Structure 1
């Protein structure tokens, strides 16, 4: 009986150690790029109307395609977003809190405050990144992998006009 308890205890310990080792390898960064990636850059943008919003768009141009690799998400400046694909260009769109309509109703009547939005609590990303770095999450076959991109270039900001310009 004592031997059976020891064997069971060792099995449980090894099972726990194996489960923790999976967590450590989940966010392992790959050494080489999964595809030929061009110069990655980002642009800030601001809407031309009050409350129209602002944000950052990160652009990842591909120089080659692969059928079994699909870029999924990007981690940049403490946030993660899904990537949009446009032919050979992936775009990560980050909304910022500047230039947003944030009307908050404060009242002693709880029903009057019904339309207020709950403040968004930022989630901590699992990577320590500099201002000019991002991590791309991609799928290779059925495996999820991560690749770090450095030296991201900032291009001139986009300022959208509030009204169409008259061309004369």
Structure 2
């Protein structure tokens, strides 16, 4: 009986020590979030989604973005375009290069990073760290801008 009680105490203590991520809505002040899908104008040129974050004020000292999730994909590719603007870039499966029997021809292909938890339409989840502790912020009603279809490149060495 004493063994069972000790086992229960150890399991309860170990469960409570699991690092839990907290939602925080005050550390990052966001003015606007929107996303835009894009597709390259040439076959195999790729496609993706860009999420734009416009902040009301600069990030506090010690705060940094880790990753951003939209639907069931996430990225760590977050570029700072100026002090208040960031762009998160996602690659999608549309218009990607086809797989080849010769694996050497597949060099550079990356498998998409799918999340088990899928966000609802119009939601974006931002993960960030402050002084080593991870937090997240869920943004609702994110607007989608019209798709950006990049034109194909002009043929090079075209003599007319």
TM class, shorter-chain normalised? 0.7 to 0.9
Q: Secondary structure of 1:90's match?
A: strand
Whichever structure has more helix as a proportion of its residues is 1
The residue aligned with 2:16 is 21
Shift of 1:72: 1.5
User: Partner residue of 1:50?
Assistant: 43
Q: Which runs of 5+ in 1 are unaligned?
A: 106-112
**TM-score, normalised relative to structure 2:** 0.78
Tell me which residue corresponds to 1:110: none
Larger Rg: 1
Given the alignment, which residue of 60, 78, 90 partners 2:53? 60
- For these two proteins, the number of residue pairs brought into alignment is 149
Q: For residue 104 of structure 2, what is the aligned residue in structure 1? A: 115
Q: Say if 1:123 and 1:162 are closer, same or farther in 2 by CA, change over 3 A.
A: closer
- Structure 2 residues not aligned, in runs of 5+: 155-160
User: Among residues 68, 79, 83, which one is paired with 1:74 in the alignment?
Assistant: 68
TM-score, normalisation: structure 1: 0.75
Contact (CA 8 Å) 2:79, 2:86: kept in 1 or not? yes
Please give the per-residue CA displacement for 1:64-117, whole angstroms capped at 9, x wherever unaligned: 111122121111110111122222222211111111111422xxxxxxx44375
* Candidates 96, 102, 121, aligned match of 2:98: 102
Point out 4+ residue stretches in structure 1 off by more than 6 angstroms.
Answer: none
CA–CA distance in structure 2, aligned partners of residues 163 and 128 of structure 1: 35
Contact 2:65 2:126 in 1 (8 A): yes
The RMSD of aligned alpha carbons is 2.6
Aligned residues of 1:33 and 1:147 also touching (Cα < 8 A)? no
Shift of 1:156: 1.7
CA distance in 2, matches of 1:93, 1:22: 34
Q: Please give the alpha-carbon distance, in whole angstroms, between the structure 2 residues aligned to 1:131 and 1:21.
A: 33
2:125 and 2:138 in contact (8 A); partners too: yes
Q: Is the 8 A contact 2:91 2:112 kept in 1?
A: no
Residue matched to 2:85:
89
Could you tell me how far 1:21 is from its partner in structure 2? 3.3
